[in-house]
Structure 1
Amino acid sequence: MPQPPKNLKDFNSLVQIIADLRGPEGCAWDLQQTHESLVPYAIEETHELAEAIESHDDEHIREELGDVLFQVILHAQLGSERKVFTITDIVQTLSEKLVRRHPHVFSGLKVSGTDEIIENWDKIKKEEALAKNKKSKIINIPEGLPALQRASKIGDKTKKVNFDWTEVKAVLTQLKEEITELEEAMEESVSPESFSHMTHEMGDVLFSAAQLSRHLNIEPETSLREANRRFLVRFEKMFELSGLSLEAFTALPQEEKEEIWGRVKQIVP
């Protein structure tokens, strides 16, 4: 039976704990995992970290950072078992990348501000791709990002080649046009083709909404998460104010629900 390390504050002790989880007498769940099976957990943990950060709860942030770190070291252990990379290789690769992509810090390059720093960063990334014989796309954004965040980043990239709205009112006009087109699609007779059309137009509405957020300097994912939380707080308060059981609340007429909802909005802005 593996023995827990004496110094639980030591990074190498953590690496050993995770190696033991994958060892002959380790955890059945950990032993079943692969890089691919862990993808949903990596996504879930980063979202939980984002939630902790936005709640301004330092203890929660500390805990969630640990969960993210667990994912990193577990992937490193899998790589080590396959003899393709270790945690040391990951640290080295990251260190080299950070030094290489920050010439204004480590190589004495003079820059005028953050815009030039970002420009240099993108240039270095393209050079890295060429060095690896990878074709560098004009817009290269991970498909695994949340869709609204990816849409916003697409707009950031197209702006750099002067393909963007010049003023925020123009983006708002575009969004209104897309909503009109969605309304027209909704009026079509029901069919697989009309559903596909509605899906297409809804996508355009959401994409345009993300671009409007970008022009207003609002991160769309953050804004939507806040809206989700606000709705849930209001909904719980709405149920509380009704004083009803869940069954009775469900049967309550829509007009009465709307009346309670209006009162809740005065209590929970």
Structure 2
Amino acid sequence: MADNQILVALQELIDVVAKLRSPEGCPWDLAQTPQSLTPYIIEEAYEVVDAIQTGDKKAIAEELGDLLLQVVLQAQIASEAGDFSLQEVVEGISQKLIRRHPHVFGDVTVENMDEVRQNWEIIKAAEKGETPATQKLSDKLSRYRRSLPPLSAAMKISQKAAGVGFEWNNVDEVWGKFHEELGEFQQALAQETPQRQESELGDLLFAIIQVARWHNLDPSAGLQGTSQRFIQRLQKMEDVIDRPLTEYSLAELDALWQQAKAQLAQD
């Protein structure tokens, strides 16, 4: 598609969203706020990731369109309030990319990807009036906590903390921490308040993420795979039953589960 066709297509989307947000448009779209649309941004982002993982090119294009809609919609609402426009959003990210890639758009020379990342961090810190030496690790980790899903944020926080030396000496110490947190969680379940139980559950999850990091495993991918396998086994079960799942005994459900598990293992 020629450049002008891309711009025409993008302008059409902008016009459609503006129409939907007009008094003559859609009541649902008109009622939305940046806050009410936040769950859709997260949902659409995950659906893009899922489509990419399946490799379905048509689905990828469709889901990217849904995600782009959320960007345009947020910008439209902000423009109506006089906060910022889509033009400012686009110009801002273009300028940021140029600024953070001086080895492409300037005269900086880099030898490898590590130097690219180092330059990126230096420039990023400078944008906030900081240097890598003055930038507080806690501020950086707080941004991860706010901007990433909890599991991904915990892994990122763990990696960055380890990068400055906040690390165990060996993997046995990591496993020791996991077992320590497991015991505290079990004790909390038996004796503590729900709030304390939740806190200890968080500590236990954080500990298992440390184990995953030490073994170069992605906890998000692992959990995603487990969820997918659970659904696949459930689908196999539903393919062979002749009445609702609620009408089966636990023993019958377990037998169906094991059968589905064996079938999928052979596929």
Flag whether TM exceeds 0.5 (same fold): yes
Q: Residue 163 of structure 1: which of 142, 150, 166 is its match?
A: 166
1:73-222 mapped onto 2 (5 Å cutoff): 73-130=72-129, 137-139=139-141, 140-188=143-191, 193-222=192-221
Q: Equivalents in 1 of 2:95, 2:151: separation in Å?
A: 31
User: Structure 2, unaligned stretches of length 5 or more?
Assistant: none
- Deviations for 1:217-238, whole angstroms, at most 9, x for unmatched residues? 3332222122111101112212
- Shift in Å, 1:184: 2.5
Q: Equivalents in 2 of 1:8, 1:158: separation in Å?
A: 43
Comparing 94-103 with 194-203, greater Cα deviation is found at 194-203
1:3 aligns with: none
Q: Equivalents in 1 of 2:115, 2:177: separation in Å?
A: 30
Contact 1:34/1:78 (8 A) holds in 2: yes
Q: Equivalents in 2 of 1:156, 1:92: separation in Å?
A: 32
- Shift in Å, 1:47: 1.5
- Deviations for 1:165-203, whole angstroms, at most 9, x for unmatched residues? 354444333223222222222332xxxx43333212111
Q: 1:88 to 1:176 in 2, by over 3 A?
A: same
Q: Equivalents in 1 of 2:222, 2:119: separation in Å?
A: 29
Q: TM-score, normalised by structure 2?
A: 0.85
Comparing 63-72 with 19-28, greater Cα deviation is found at 19-28
Q: Residue 254 of structure 1: which of 220, 238, 250 is its match?
A: 250
Contact 1:76/1:86 (8 A) holds in 2: yes
Structure 1 residue matching 2:128: 3-state secondary structure: helix
Q: Equivalents in 1 of 2:116, 2:250: separation in Å?
A: 54
- Shift in Å, 1:72: 0.6
Structure 2 residue matching 1:36: 3-state secondary structure: helix
Structure (1/2) with the larger helix percentage? 2
- Shift in Å, 1:245: 0.7
Structure 1 residue matching 2:35: 3-state secondary structure: coil
- Shift in Å, 1:68: 0.6
| Percent of pairs with identical residues | 37
Larger RCO (alpha carbons 8 Å, 6+ apart):
1
Number of aligned residue pairs: 254
Structure 1 residue matching 2:109: 3-state secondary structure: coil
How much is the aligned-residue C-alpha RMSD, in angstroms?
A: 2.4
User: Structure 1, unaligned stretches of length 5 or more?
Assistant: 1-5
Contact 1:7/1:13 (8 A) holds in 2: no
Comparing 161-170 with 145-154, greater Cα deviation is found at 161-170
